[in-house]
Amino acid sequence: MGKPKPMPRDGRKVFFKLGACSRTFAFLLDREFGHLNEMAERASNPFAGGIIQKGHQCGMLWGSALAVGAEAFRRNDDRGQAIASAITATQHVMESFSKRTGHVDCLEVTGLDWTNKLDTMKYMFSGRFLYCFTLAKKWAPEAVQSAKEGLSHEDPNLPQQPISCATEVARRMGAGEEEMITVAGFAGGLGLGGYACGALGAVLWLDSLAWCREHPGKSPSFFKNADANRTLEAFYGETDSEILCHKIAGQRFETIGEHTEFMNNGGCDTLLDVLARS
Q: Report pLDDT for 6.
A: 64
Q: How would DSSP label each residue in the chain?
A: -PPPPPPPSSHHHHHHHH--HHHHHHHHHHHHHT---HHHHHTTGGGTTTTTTSS-B-HHHHHHHHHHHHHHHHH-SSHHHHHHHHHHHHHHHHHHHHHHHS-SBHHHHH---TT-HHHHHHHHHTTTTHHHHHHHHHHHHHHHHHHHHHHH---TT--SS---HHHHHHHHTT--HHHHHHTGGGTTTTTT--SB-HHHHHHHHHHHHHHHHHSTT----SS--HHHHHHHHHHHHHHTT--BHHHHHTS---SHHHHHHHHHTTTTHHHHHHHHH-
Comparing 85 with 119, the larger pLDDT belongs to 85
Pairwise CA distance, residues 199 & 186, whole Å: 7
The neighbour count for residue 265, using CB atoms within 10 Å, is 8
Q: Where are the domains of the chain?
A: 11-277
Q: Report pLDDT for 2.
A: 45
In tens, the pLDDT along 61-96 reads 999 999 999 999 999 999 999 999 999 999 999 999
Share of the chain above pLDDT 70, in %: 94
Read off the amino acid at residue 217.
Answer: G
Comparing 155 with 87, the larger pLDDT belongs to 87
Q: Report pLDDT for 1.
A: 36
Q: What is the mean pLDDT of the chain?
A: 92
Q: Report pLDDT for 155.
A: 82
pLDDT band at 170 (very low <50, low <70, confident <90, very high): very high
Comparing 137 with 118, the larger pLDDT belongs to 137
Average pLDDT value for residue range 115-129: 72
In tens, the pLDDT along 249-263 reads 999 999 999 999 999
Pairwise CA distance, residues 115 & 123, whole Å: 12
Q: Report pLDDT for 158.
A: 85
Share of the chain above pLDDT 90, in %: 79
In tens, the pLDDT along 46-66 reads 999 999 889 999 999 999 999
Average pLDDT value for residue range 252-276: 97
In tens, the pLDDT along 197-248 reads 999 999 999 999 999 999 988 888 766 678 888 999 999 999 999 999 999 9
Q: Report pLDDT for 278.
A: 82
